[in-house]
Structure formats: structure tokens, C-alpha cells
Amino acid sequence: MADIDYERVLCVKPEVHVFRIPPRTSNRGYRAADWKLESPDWTGRMKIVTKDKKLSIKLEDKAGELFAQAPIDTYPGPEVETVLDSSRYFVIRIQDDSGRKAFIGIGFHDRGDSFDFNVTLQDHFKGVKQEQQLQMEMADASKNPAPKLDLGFKEGQTIRINLGNKSAKSRPKPSAGGGGTPILLPPPPGAGSGAGIKAPPMAVPPPAQQQQQAVQPNPSQQPSDLLGGFGSSFSAPPPATVQPQTQQNTSASEWGDFTSAQTSSNDGGWVQF
């Protein structure tokens, strides 16, 4: 079944004036001032319709009867021309069923109506031109198809992808059984003084370090040895690390009682201890 093309209305203007125009006197164009604008020859309705990709201007009376029809092939072109002295008036070429042609003038009372008339014709032929270009491109593409790209992997071909992220080192997790290194938790605060909790044993130095500690004297014990009882004998002289000033102060403190006793002897030369 063949496709049926319906008539599609692109623009409708309820009032348009038609004028009989005198023959063109020059190649410059038409002038609306040469027409009888105050007394138009006919007034009716104008429609711009398209059917089977063909555009035409129809002039109808109030009852819908066709007064004249102008097929439009191109715009701007000989079928529709603008006048030189106004934007509200045009010259169109009408044609009857027998093929006879004539030029008449049309005009609109409102300038907005003439603007819509002009834009409707421009948009239609602009769309027709774009459709023709698209069809030509599709025809060229079918005649000269572009080579298809083979993006598949060849036999033995590999690909390597570098994500740029370093893999994190895996840490060993403690096992629930007895295997692995046990995790030692720190003792709670004050655990050394609590009952039932023993402090960890002290690290025992090797034998070589124990001998060095036994040979070296302990400076903190020297004052207590020097201030011992009078009957005690000194087995060793004071260490060489003690400064001379410290020795003088120490000797003065040790023999201070004897000195004070000699200076304060008032009982017949007896010294009291």
C-alpha cells in the first residue's frame, strides 16, 4: 500500500490584502507605493501548506473557497519577492490548474504577520536543504564504505595494564591455635605492686660485664665508708675520681671534732669526746 501524504499547515494569517500590480518598469524591483494601498482588490485568509515536500501559498475567502494558489519552489526566488519600500508587502506568482501564471501583490496590516510569513518560508527551505545534504552523504557512504577497524586481539597478542597502585604487604595474622608468634599485651597500671602478679625478671648481664661492675667502685658508698666508726680501718685510699677540693672538705669534716676539742681545751688539758 502506497504511503499517503497529508497536507500540513505551516502558517495561517486570517487577514491578507491582494493588489493588482502594474508591470515592472525596471529591473530594480517592485514598489508598494505604486499600488492602491487604501483600496485592496481582495481581502481574505492566507495559508502556507506543504504536501509531498512541496510548498504552496493558498488564498481563501472566509467560506474556505480557494481564490488563488502560488506554488513555491525556492525562497528567495521568482515565486516570492519583497518590495523595495516596505517590509509588509510582497509580490507572489500565482498559477492555476491549466498552468497560467500571474503576479499579484499581497500585504499585511500588522508587521508581525509579515515577519511570520517570511520566517516560515525560510525555515521550510532550510530544512529541505539539510535533508538533501544528509541524503547525499548517506549515498556517498553506501557507495564508498569506510574500512572497518579490526580491534580484536591477534593470535598470541597480549595486553598489559599498569594501574599505578602499589600492592600492600600482607601482615601475618595470629592464629587461634598455638602456632605463630603470640601477642604480648602491656601490663596494666600498678601491676607490679598487686598480689599475684610478678614483675618481669631483670636482664642478667654476661660474666664479662659482671667482673667490670665488681672492679669499679661505687661512688655513692664512699661517704658512708669514710664516716664510719673511729675504730674502723681504711683498707683502700679514696678513689682517684674525687677532686682535691672534695677531699679537703671531706677531711675537714672528719677531723673537725679534734680541732674544736684542741682549741676549746679549758679543763686542765683534757679532751672530752
Domains of the chain, residue spans: 8-141
Give residue 201's pLDDT.
Answer: 57
- The stretch 195-206 carries a mean pLDDT of 54
The CATH code belonging to domain 8-141 is 2.30.29.30
Rounded to whole angstroms, the Cα distance separating 136 from 107 reads 38
- Residue 30: name the closest of 21, 39, 38 by CA: 21
Rounded to whole angstroms, the Cα distance separating 46 from 118 reads 13
- Residue 80: name the closest of 59, 106, 45, 41 by CA: 106
- The stretch 76-104 carries a mean pLDDT of 91
The pLDDT-based confidence of 1 (bands split at 50, 70, 90) is very low
72/248: higher pLDDT: 72
- What are the backbone angles phi and psi of residue 11, rounded to the nearest 5°? -155, 145
Give residue 66's pLDDT.
Answer: 92
3/27: higher pLDDT: 27
Rounded to whole angstroms, the Cα distance separating 265 from 268 reads 7
**In a 3-state reduction of DSSP, which class is residue 29?**
coil
The pLDDT-based confidence of 151 (bands split at 50, 70, 90) is confident
Measured CA distances, 223 to 149, 218, 252, 254 (Å): 100, 10, 13, 11
Residue with cell 593470535: 155
pTM of the model: 0.51
Q: Please report which residue ranges of 22-110 form alpha helices under DSSP H.
A: none
